[in-house]
Structure 1
Amino acid sequence: MSRRDYSEDLLVQEPAAAFLEKTLKWRSVYAFDSETYGPDSLLGRKDRSEVVLTRELIVALKKLNPKLPDSALAAAMVALLDADPTKSMLQHNEAKWKLMRDGVSVKIKSADGESDERVRVIDFDKPDNNDFLAVRELWVKGTSWDRRCDIVGFVNGLPLVFIELKRHDKGLKAAFDDNYRDNKDTIPQLFHYNALVIVSNGVDARFGALGNGWDHFYRWKRLTEADADPAPKPDEPPKKPLLPILLEGMCSKKNLLDIVENFTLFDSSEGVVKIVARNHQYLGVNLAIANLQSNSPHVATGHLGVFWHTQGSGKSYSMVFFCQKIHRKVSARYTFVLMTDRKELDAQIYGTFVNCGAATNKGDKARNGDGLQRLLKDQNRRYVFSLIHKFHEQVKENWSLRDDIIVVSDEAHRTQYGRLALNMRKALQNAKFIGFTGTPLIDGPEKQVTRQVFGDYVSVYDFQRAVADGATLPLYYENRGEKLQIIDPELNRRIEERIDAAKADGELTPEQEEKLYRQLARDYPVLTSDSHLGDIASDFVEHFHQRWRLMEPLTKPGEAIRYGGNSKSMFVCIDKVTCVRMYALIKTRWAAKIDELEASLVYQEALLVKSGKEVSPFVERLRAHVAWMRETQMYTVFSPEQNEVQDFKDWGLDVRPHRELISNGIDGRSLEECFKDSQHPFRIAIVCAMWLTGFDVKSLATLYLDKPMKGHTLMQAIARVNRVAANKKNGLVIDYNGMLKSLRKALATFAQGDAGGLLSALSRHRSGI
């Protein structure tokens, strides 16, 4: 070994292996120069091509399935070792995970005929009943050359954990870029069984799931929610080593098997993506389930608490983890009612459960009140998805007296206290209720109502902690309406008063809100005048066209100039008519800006020819900029409405081309799918209500607001731009409506734990782009 290898081994690898062995009670062996081959060798491998320790696997299968014949165990071995050349690495990984989690289905012949049995591969209930082995310096035969892996963690002979280590003085990302990615390419068979990928330099440490990019490799920073944060910011070095915390949190025998069984998903919504729970999701869901299993008097009366995880931190996945673990570990008899108060949220949550394979029955979604009642009376129904508005009719008798129904209310505080909620609770008197929210009510009289309805917090993950963990991105605020001198504080105050006065049963629906704006006979013409919209459209084009390279990595010398296909924006208008008007104004000014840049390009190209130079980085960049602008597509997105053709015609507008695009999409793909695709040129979405709730677009970096908003609606809107994406550093909120006061008030109401950090970021008036 070289001195460098020796340093890495001595300073990082050896302590990591020692921690696994002495603290977490794994077996540990060093294979670099001591492994021989054959049945009685160190690992029992026949040669370097074997990535499964078949000797340990056979022993485990016999131990876990003492009543099954050898023929059944042999059939299970064949299924576990199968390597189909037509499958991708991720397809193999998902297939092996299902075999490990659910067991291998085999047929057994006997004198009485043929029967179906399941061969257990891992004992998830008794972790110590399995074999945990950490192998250092494991050689594996590769497609091009052999690779040496720092540490591979085997459970019952299956390689579940891959650990890549660097010296203390090396950057953590180098372990990902230089070693892990190369290993994945050259020894893909090792990753067919992988549950966790860990990279560390002994001080810092991150984990990810197979297929995740570096931007979705995360730290595991705490063993309980109450632990202090050892690394306050995602890009800062930690104050104390994170590797021991990560290893204990993820690789202790109990936790590793819990993660494999209950905190792993394969989401097919945008291609297949593997999801492993992050630190806060794992801790939060287990706290919520522990509360369910407690003998607390609150639980006995149906109060399972409030699960507060800030927007953008994976709350929908946490719901899936919560429900699936209860089904697997507590009781399969539970029926979960996923209750929301927004069509977009209902569609998003239903889609998440379906795409992750949790909900498989197309009839789980209630179409109307009668359908909901029918679903809730079905004792074999695992999931029911519904809007709370389907409880609009007075409930006179119980729909179900079962005590094994759990109502999961998303954004619980908005509509869970009025007539609709009262009807729901009359219909399901013995049900249990848990509220999942990203923006809970913190102050005021409704805080006590929240506790009365759901109970106390069972898990809290606020904005500051989410940003520090890198689970969400920081948000920045710029008041460009003030610069344009188009803000009227008195007008905003009158609108807020009208909105407050119009509230009846929770928040206004988008339709109610839009009608309210039109009823503001005195103020609506001011907010939608040609001069007002024209000034904003011009400023939008000036601002957004400069963000064209926002999320692109820096181009290295000698490389072709790349352009910013990833940078997307959302413009929020007051209503549907204004969306269409703003679309026309932006499109005209966008074309004018292209003409302006092209004229500049022609001039610069002439100067380049005159100078006798062949290449100019400035000219190349300008060419790429013009190409990006020409390629950029923009569309309006809003829900259909009765008589909309005539309503728009009254404004001199034809809504039919817009409705056709919204309905049919682009080249066979829906507008939603295209906007979520970071490489698609649909980069400017003009909306008024749709896509402001329950709509996650990782590459959405800039939100432009020209709509009076407040409270929960405002908090939901600004969270659209806090999602993590490659090379995205932050989200930016551009305010044309002077809503900083409303934002401060919303933060005071909805974000006690995160108000300081979020407000300090959002209060910055940024210049430039």
Structure 2
Amino acid sequence: MSQIKISEAKSVQFPMVKHASTVGWEQLTPEEAESMRRGRANMLFPEVLENKLRQFNPWLTEDQARAIIESIEALPPTIEGNREVLRWLRGERQWHDENEQRQRPVQVVDFDLPHENALHVTWEWKIEPPARAKGNRADIMFIVNGIPVTIVEHKNPKDRDALTKAVTQLRRYEIETPELLAQTQLHNETHLIDYWYGVTWNINRRMLFKWKHTRGESYRDAVQAFFEPRDFLRTLREWVLFYIEDGETKKSVLREHQRGAVDAVVERCADGAKNRGLIWHTQGSGKTFTMLTAAQLIISQKDRFKNATVILVVDRTELEGQLKEWVDRLLGEMQANDIPVRRANSKYDLQDIFDSDFRGLVVSMIHKFEAIRKDSSNRDNVFVFIDEAHRSVAADLGSYLMAAVPNATIIGFTGTPVGGTQGGGTSSFQIFGSQDEMGYLHKYSIVESIEDETTLPIKYMLAPSSMSMAPEDLDEQFYALASDEAVTDIDELNKVLQRTVGLRTFLGSDSRVAQVAEFVANHFSENVDPLGHKAFLVAVDRETCAKYKRALDKLLPPEWSEVVYSKNASDVVDRPDVHELQLSDDREKEVRRQFKKANQQPKILIVTDKLLTGYDAPILYAMYLDKPMRDHVLLQALARVNRPYVDSEGVQKKVGLVVDFVGILKELHKALRFDSADVEGALQDLDVLMADLLLKIDAASTEYLLVTPGQGEDEQLEGIVYGRFVSEDERKKFFDDYRDIEALWEILSPSAEVPITTAP
């Protein structure tokens, strides 16, 4: 093949091609690529793929190799078809060996020897499917062994909406020419300044991740790091995953902090000298995906880990909630790939798993370990991964677990560790992190998460003092009791609150409920609903939830709100008001699903003991907090509002908002007893932001809006544009000042307190 020469114009437009070629990708002109795929109606390079199939699988006949290519081409251009393409790429599909008369795995990619693969990169990839009214063109396409794997949209760096436009364009491809995305697994968006990536078939701004291989790296470094052949192929093999959410197949890719944690976990499990580790990743950063991926890697490496057993200890609330569907799907896919899987549905099941020396993946809940026989398994290749580890090892349950598998390696995953690094025996750091100098194996902080736009900052405001508890009452009736108890989950919190009769009486009084409900109705109508967002109202108990529902129904359309709380068989007699509003299981499932969608009801969920952990609804913007909480429970609840969200018009949610009716956020050092560095920047008072906005507007008015007496409007504008703003530094300063004010404005509006400032 002749050497390609890229013009200067092309080099400027697509420097990615040049950078990728320096790490092993062969450049193809658009004409060469179109010829190799036999016209614009096709996506594969059939000759390249056939050659690689025959090279990696010598037992395949020529006809069989072509039949495999036809099978891949025939897959539908849907997310399910895309999943099948990935299975082919990963070597998970089989074909019949006619000589040996058996099914054999088909190798499509050589992951161990990257240089054995045909790696191509080209640009202006045009597709014109025969059955479509129009075609489309991708800016750049990366192809592995004849199969397109990554599509790139390259935008003008001067366009401030470049990323939004790139996402919109990719979504348009999905609708107009889904064939363009049939095989591609990943997408990149770039404008030479920032570098973003995500997966196809789940293309939205929320699922677009900033690539940060190293801090401060150049664009060239970013491209070369992302497409370094060995690491890139590993992304295809290990980091892309499919899951079920609300009955729909979804797709994601692990981000750098997740990959780092997975590698740290796998290395710790292979370390014969250490058998504990703590993964401290903040709420909303994808801990469960991290845990499941690490488990899959360990089980699949049978020689390295001697045919291991991995036990996933999953939180009861989450396993019974939204995680159930995709955990079931992922477990099913593991079984399809010959990874044995068992669910411990009872203590008897779990004991039988140990007694039968089961090898593979086990999913259990922590309470199943109660009374499990000591030394049930003495093997050292048992690996226990504990989700929400800050509460899962509480009391005697953790002791039962460790006694049952005394030689196991145990890794805890949490966003809110209990105790400090110098804490006592029940500290998360002491239980899981004592073998690491910092007290943890891998950390991803709140601040890092916000910087990466994995989560959003949370702003809060205090409700009028007439609705809040007096600080001394809160100290006496809540903090004093809570400090004496191990409050690591919502159930333990509720047990503490059951003893605070005076506090619950105050929070649940009819007059106060009516007052708070009126505030919530007005605030939601004026500040939340106009943004297209939704809200939680968190009440102190189920009785008060029922009161709030009835009060809000008098102020807002009844279909706007719904209660979601636990059931008790005696409610029909003891608490008829609570029982009357309880949802059936099917209705609750429907409400959970509909709440996440902008165009469906309800808009407000009234909760107290459900949905405060493990429920991910990015559209959730505001939390009206009327329940005393602290530490882990509080941070987990607040994290419900910190998920990024982009509406159908491309407008991004900037922050999450908490309105505190109890007063617990007045003194953060009491409410959140973590190191200040772990929460700094994550929670900020709206009053502080409003003061900052007013100061910035006043300064900008003085800087830019003062008029010169005697000059007309055109003359003043000409003086600014052709005088002051000729300087690049002055233009940059103006742009930075404007963006600072714009960011604060978007956070604080709509609000009557936000000033409307115009030039004199």
**2:460 equivalent to 1:469:** no
1:78-108, Cα deviation, whole Å (9 max, x unpaired): 222224xxx4522221121112113432123
Whether contact under 8 Å (2:386, 2:392) holds in the other structure is no
Q: Spell out the pairing of 1:588-607 with structure 2 (5 A cutoff).
A: 588-590=554-556
Structure 1 residues 253 and 524: alpha-carbon distance in aligned structure 2, compared to 1, 3 A threshold: same
Counterpart position of 1:102: 91
Shift of residue 267, structure 1, vs aligned partner: 1.7
Q: CA deviation at 1:285?
A: 1.8
Could you tell me which residue of structure 1 aligns to residue 190 of structure 2?
A: 200
**Which of 152, 155, 158 does residue 141 from structure 2 map onto?**
152
Report matched runs for 1:253-402 at 5 Å.
253-270=229-246, 271-294=248-271, 297-298=273-274, 302-303=275-276, 305-329=277-301, 331=305, 333-340=307-314, 342-344=316-318, 347-357=321-331, 364-380=342-358, 382-393=360-371, 397-402=374-379
Shift of residue 433, structure 1, vs aligned partner? 0.7
With over 3 angstroms needed to count, the CA separation of the structure-2 counterparts of 1:57 and 1:123, relative to structure 1, is same
Q: Which letter maps to 2:669?
A: R
Question: Are residues 1:693 and 2:675 paired?
Answer: no
Q: Is the 8 A contact 1:26 1:132 kept in 2?
A: yes
CA distance in 2, matches of 1:154, 1:720: 39
Q: How does 1:105-254 map to 2 (within 5 A)?
A: 105-110=94-99, 114-142=101-129, 143-171=132-160, 172-173=162-163, 176=166, 179-223=169-213, 227-228=214-215, 230=216, 241=218, 243-254=219-230
Distance 1:753 1:405, change over 3 A: farther
Identity %: 25
Deviations 1:162-209 (CA, angstroms, capped at 9, x unpaired): 122233323422651564344444443232111211121122221121
- Residue 548 of structure 1 deviates from its aligned partner by 4.8
Taking structure 1 as reference, are residues 178 and 672 closer, same or farther at Cα in structure 2, changes over 3 Å only? closer
In structure 1, C-alpha distance between the alignment counterparts of 2:441 and 2:327, rounded to whole Å: 22
The question of whether the paired residues in 2 share the 8 Å contact of 1:568 and 1:700 is answered with yes
Q: Cα gap change, 1:498/1:136 in structure 2, threshold over 3 Å: closer, same or farther?
A: same
Q: Paired residue for 1:663?
A: 585
Asked if the contact 1:569/1:700 (under 8 Å) is kept, the reply is yes
Whichever residue aligns with residue 486 of structure 1, its letter is: S
Where does residue 718 of structure 1 map in the other structure? Answer: 638
Q: Are 2:680 and 1:680 equivalent residues in the alignment?
A: no
Match of 1:538 in 2: 518
On the 8 A contact 1:317/1:352 being kept in 2, the answer is: no
The aligned length equals 667
Distance 1:359 1:495 in 2: 50
CA contact (8 A) 2:138 2:153 kept: yes
Please name the residue that 2:553 is paired with.
587
Moved more, 205-214 or 175-184: 175-184
SS at match of 2:524: helix
Q: In 2, Cα distance between the equivalents of 1:192 and 1:352?
A: 22
Q: Secondary structure at the match of 1:473?
A: coil
Classify 1:740/1:548 alpha carbon distance in 2 versus 1 (closer, same or farther; 3 Å): closer
SS in 1 for 2:182: helix
CA shift digits 1:319-346 (9 cap, x unpaired): 2222222233455833222224543456
Answer whether contact 1:338 1:384 (CA < 8 A) is retained. yes
Q: Distance in 1 between matches of 2:122 and 2:389?
A: 47
Which residue of 757, 761, 768 maps to 2:681?
Answer: 757
SS in 2 for 1:430: coil
Partner of 2:710: none
1:65 Cα deviation after fit: 0.9
**What is the CA-CA distance between 1:525 and the residue it aligns to?**
2.0
- Does structure 2 conserve the Cα–Cα contact (< 8 Å) formed by 1:366 and 1:384? yes
The corresponding residue for 1:599 is none
Q: CA deviation at 1:718?
A: 0.3
The match for 1:547 is 527
What is the distance in 1 between the residues matched to 2:376 and 2:352? 9
Q: Distance in 2 between matches of 1:331 and 1:187?
A: 45
CA deviations over 1:547-570 (Å, ceiling 9, x no partner): 35444xxxxxxxxxxxx3xx2211
How many Å separate the matches in 2 of 1:447 and 1:481? 39
- With over 3 angstroms needed to count, the CA separation of the structure-2 counterparts of 1:481 and 1:439, relative to structure 1, is farther
TM-score normalised to structure 2 length: 0.81
Q: Does 1:93 align with 2:82?
A: yes
How many angstroms apart in 1 are the aligned matches of 2:43 and 2:489? Answer: 56
1:481–1:735 Cα contact (<8 Å) kept: no
Conserved 8 A contact 2:299-2:310? no
| Distance change (3 Å), C-alpha of 1:376 and 1:149 | same
Partner of 2:469: 487
- 2:90 is paired with a residue whose SS is helix
Indicate conservation of the 8 Å contact 2:421/2:429, yes or no. Answer: no
User: 1:353 and 1:54, CA in 2 relative to 1: closer, same or farther beyond 3 A?
Assistant: same
Specify which of 51, 65, 68 is matched with residue 73 of structure 1: 65
**Measured at CA, do residues 664 and 742 of structure 1 come closer, stay the same or move farther in structure 2, by a change above 3 Å?**
farther
Q: Distance in 2 between matches of 1:435 and 1:763?
A: 38
- Amino acid in structure 2 at the alignment position of 1:392: E
User: Residue 92 of structure 2 contacts residue 105 of structure 2 at CA under 8 Å; is this kept in 1?
Assistant: yes
Give, in angstroms, the shift of residue 507 of structure 1: 2.9
Give the equivalent residue in structure 1 for 2:573. 646
- Is the contact between residue 572 and residue 687 of structure 1 (CA under 8 Å) also seen in structure 2? yes
- Identify the structure with bigger relative contact order (alpha carbons < 8 Å, sequence gap 6+): 1
Given that residues 467 and 661 in structure 2 are in contact (C-alpha distance below 8 angstroms), is that contact kept between their aligned partners in structure 1?
no
CA deviation profile, 1:681-733 (whole Å, cap 9, x unmatched): 11211111111111111111111111111111111110011112113221101
Residue in 2 that maps onto 1:556: none
User: Matches of 1:36 and 1:129 in 2, distance apart?
Assistant: 23
CA drift of 1:428 comes to 0.8
Alpha-carbon deviation of 1:45? 3.5
Q: Which residue matches 2:623?
A: 703
Amino acid at match of 1:431: A
> Which secondary structure does the structure 1 equivalent of 2:102 belong to?
strand
Q: Secondary structure of the equivalent of 2:66?
A: helix
SS of structure 2 residue aligned to 1:693: coil
CA drift of 1:508 comes to 6.0
**How big is the alpha-carbon RMSD for the aligned residues of Structure 1 and Structure 2?**
2.9
Unpaired runs of 5+ residues, structure 1, are 38-43, 231-239, 552-563, 591-629
* Counterparts of 1:719 and 1:584, CA distance in 2: 27
1:453 aligned to which of 420, 431, 452: 431
The one-character-per-residue Cα deviations of 1:361-402 (angstroms, maximum 9, x if unpaired) are 798443333332223444445333333233333x55311122
In structure 1, the partner of 2:665 is 740
Instruction: Tell me if the contact between 2:386 and 2:413 (Cα under 8 Å) persists in the aligned partners.
Output: yes
Aligned to 2:208, the other structure's residue is in SS state coil
Answer whether contact 1:341 1:389 (CA < 8 A) is retained: no
Shift in Å, 1:264: 1.1
**Map of 1:57 onto structure 2:** 49
Deviating more after overlay: 353-362 vs 406-415 = 353-362
User: Cα gap change, 1:252/1:642 in structure 2, threshold over 3 Å: closer, same or farther?
Assistant: same
Secondary structure, aligned partner of 1:682: coil
Tell me the TM-score normalised to structure 1 length.
0.80
Counterpart of 2:654 in structure 1 is: 729
Aligned to 1:25: 24
Equivalent residue number for residue 404 of structure 2: 427
Which structure 2 segments of 5+ residues have no match? 1-5, 647-651, 691-747, 752-760
